[in-house]
Structure 1
Amino acid sequence: MRHIVASIAIAAGALAASAGAQQTVYLCDGTYTDKPCKGGKEVDIAPTRGAHSMSGKRRESTEAVVERIRENNQAAYQKGMKQAQDNMRCDQLRRRREVIDRSKATEALDGERLHIREEQFALKCRRQ
């Protein structure tokens, strides 16, 4: 019984040690080996994200699908937040311009009106 437990512990330790270090694998005459051979090709054994390990065909695992959905949701959230901020700023600028347009001292505020128009143009504000 002790021998079995010791063998399992040794095997687990060897597996953990080999998993941490990236090994180079070679394809030699139809067999895979960790030693280079004449005419052999180096094979990339790095895990692929979302591809089947043997066929190389695209077949996403559940984890890869969840991660892709999470990334897409985060990108959409960031885009939505930016649009909301831009829309709020456009509304602020529009209201400020309305105040300037109603003011009697419009000539004195022409510089500010120009600055507001430039910022509205940069933000691609729609005319309302």
Structure 2
Amino acid sequence: MFRRNSMFIRFAAKAMSVAMLVSLMAFTAACGGGDTVADDSAAQSSNAPESRSVVLYQFRYNPSSLTIPAGTTVTFKNRDPERHNINIAALNVDQNLDANQEWSYTFDTTGEFAVSNRFDDRMQLTVIVE
């Protein structure tokens, strides 16, 4: 009789294991675990416009040169306690920035552009738009 009980217990344990495995597979399929969906986030991010920052600090543009693709938005951030100016003569841009102020410009035209500060001629930046 003991032998029959142990056989029954082993059979019941195997049956429960199989039932749990089948349930888990059904749950995974119901939740979409078996579906393959194309991940297009990489394609979206490669088409998304870029953005870059230039910090005006210690009477310098940081970085002093920048190469970007056309369509990139550059945010100029004045971190000096004095007012600065962003002057891009070739693009007819002339923007003043007070201390801790930010301003953005989107470079849509390809070329090499000199950026200066009308208030301090030591501040120079070259932006190359490809």
* TM-score (normalizing by structure 2): 0.27
The structure with the largest helix share of the pair is 1
* Higher RCO, Cα 8 Å, sep 6+: 2
The structure with the largest strand share of the pair is 2
